[in-house]
Structure formats: C-alpha cells, structure tokens
Amino acid sequence: MDKFGEMTGVAAPLPMINVDTDMIIPKQFLKTIERTGLGKNLFDELRFDDDGNEIEEFVLNKPAYRNATILLAGENFGCGSSREHAPWALLDFGIRCVIAPSFADIFYNNCFKNGILPITLPQEEIDKLFDDAERGANATITVDLHAQEIRGPDGGVIAFEVDEFRKHCLVHGLDDIDLTMEKGHHIDSHEEKIKAARPWV
C-alpha cells in the first residue's frame, strides 16, 4: 500500500448525498478480484451514456477535473453494499482522499485499508472547500495527514480528526498483511514452540 503523508491536488466537487457503492462502481464490473483496471469504470453510469459516450456535464469528464486526486462529496458517501471494489475504483482513477460530512461505516473502513484517506468535516467546512473546488484546476487543495490539516488556495486552514492507529497505517503504508508481517518473528517463534511441544502436529 502506498504511503500517505502530504498531497496537493485538484479537488472534484460532487455535491450529491447518498452516493452508494453501486454508483461508485456498478455491479457489472465486479467480476475481477484485481485492484487495478477499475478506474475507467468509476461512476460509470454517471460518466457515460448508454452508447459509452462521455456525459460532458459530469464533473470528472470536465477538463479541469480529469486528473483530480481529491473528491468532495455529500452526506453518507459510500452507502449501500460493502463491495471493496468501490475504493479500488477510486484509487485506480487517482483519488487518494475523499472529504464528506459523513460516510457509510464499511466504505470508510475499506478506504483506510486501501490507502485512501476519508475525512469527515462539518457541512460548513465542506461548503468552503466546494467554493475552492469550483475554481477548477486553478485552485489546488493540500491535504497534510501529518499535521491533520487541509490548506486551501487562499491560505485558509481546516483541521480534521483521524484515528491515530489508522493514521499510523496510512503514513507508513501498512495494510492488514503488512501489519501481520511486522509480527513475523513472533509468529515464527510460536510455530517453533508448537513443533517442539507437539511434533506430531
């Protein structure tokens, strides 16, 4: 998992509430167990018409936001089914941070496990960021996980909270497998003791 420290990028405004995981990555694209290749189908039914043509009005199809790395969203983002493909699709597209007033719990947890920083902020703070994001590629936002700050293009600073353990994992790029491997010597020692005590196992 890639480390997350400080990033500066374009924030795409998506002021929709209750964006569920089927909107993020529709069910027909869930056949793969690979974490890559899903970005092209992110928000597929919002980005493309029935003939596969881009819908110009959708934010990620606008030239200013095609390379967005931050997504600003509405309440209850990531609700619906628990598919882990949703954060995979966001990450494969290039989104490393999602900022919203609230998230569905499973999606929120899956973000941390896949290297995405989900930030919860009061609506009034989100509205300030939406104002910044409406300027497009000319206004970038910096997300500093170390300092737990979001810095706007005009110098404004918004503080955010994050669980210390989850912060540690993102900063050091540790997923569940990495955390287990950190205990490798303890696991090896335990297995040796088991072999000595119960050689028939």
The mean pLDDT value for 120-136 works out to 93
pTM: 0.88
- From the candidate CATH numbers 3.30.70.270, 3.40.50.880, 3.20.19.10, 3.40.50.12780, the one assigned to the domain spanning 6-174: 3.20.19.10
Q: Which two tokens stand for residue 73?
A: 């969203």
The mean pLDDT value for 136-157 works out to 91
* Residue that the structure tokens 């979001």 belong to: 150
| Model pLDDT, residue 102 | 98
| Model pLDDT, residue 16 | 96
pLDDT tens digits, 176-190: 666 565 566 656 666
Instruction: DSSP for 45-108, please give it.
Output: HHHB-TTS-B-TTSGGGSGGGTT--EEEE-TTBTBSS--THHHHHHHHHT--EEEES-B-HHHH
| Model pLDDT, residue 185 | 66
Instruction: With H, G, I as helix, E, B as strand and everything else as coil, classify residue 119.
Output: strand
